[in-house]
Amino acid sequence: MKRAPASQPQAVLFACGMNSVRSPMAAALLKQMLGPSLYVGSAGVRKGELDAFAAAAMEEIGIDISAHRPLTFEELDDLEGLNFDLIVTLSPEAHHKALELTRTLAADVEYWPTADPTAIEGSREQRMNAYRDVREQLLRRIRERFSPRHRGNE
């Protein structure tokens, strides 16, 4: 028997190590899928710079993340607060940080282990394929978790 999905959150935070690859990709994918019906943010444990391969992989499917500026959890908290009811963590260190935050935040945490494509070496095409794989994995997980068919009383 398949477990019923948790209720649909109103505000989702995607988190990874440096908020430069996985979390901005996931946030952009969810924003494209659900539009303004949900508040979506992203943060990292440490400060990073937007990865050009991540931007290129997203551009291939018509999503522009080139304006994304990576933020740490602390910077996001200072800017707008951490008012999220779901934190989706994509790396072990982000998962530990999110669990630490739940001591003072009433947020659910889901861990979606996602490979770090920056670890892949080789030609530009081999490296791009690693980012495409991450993009497609995130897209599948987002569709499974946030599919509109699970919302409302249909």
pLDDT at 4: 40
Q: How many CB atoms lie within 10 A of CB 99?
A: 13
In a domain, 1, yes or no: no
In a domain, 152, yes or no: no
CA separation for the pair 50, 82 (Å, rounded): 21
CATH of the domain at 36: 3.40.50.2300
In a domain, 78, yes or no: yes
CA separation for the pair 56, 150 (Å, rounded): 31
pLDDT at 59: 98
pLDDT at 1: 36
Long-range contacts of 100-105 (CB under 8 A, 24+ apart): 101/73
pLDDT at 107: 92
In a domain, 86, yes or no: yes
| Full pLDDT tens readout for the chain, 154 residues | 333 445 789 999 999 999 999 999 999 999 999 988 899 999 999 999 999 999 999 999 999 999 999 999 999 999 988 899 999 999 999 999 999 998 888 899 999 999 999 999 999 999 999 999 999 999 999 999 998 664 444 3
Distance of CA 38 to the CA centre of its chain: 14
Instruction: Indicate the number of domains in the chain.
Output: 1
In a domain, 62, yes or no: yes
Range of the domain at 79: 14-147
Query: Is residue 21 within 8 Å of 51, Cβ to Cβ?
Result: yes
Query: Is residue 94 within 8 Å of 17, Cβ to Cβ?
Result: yes
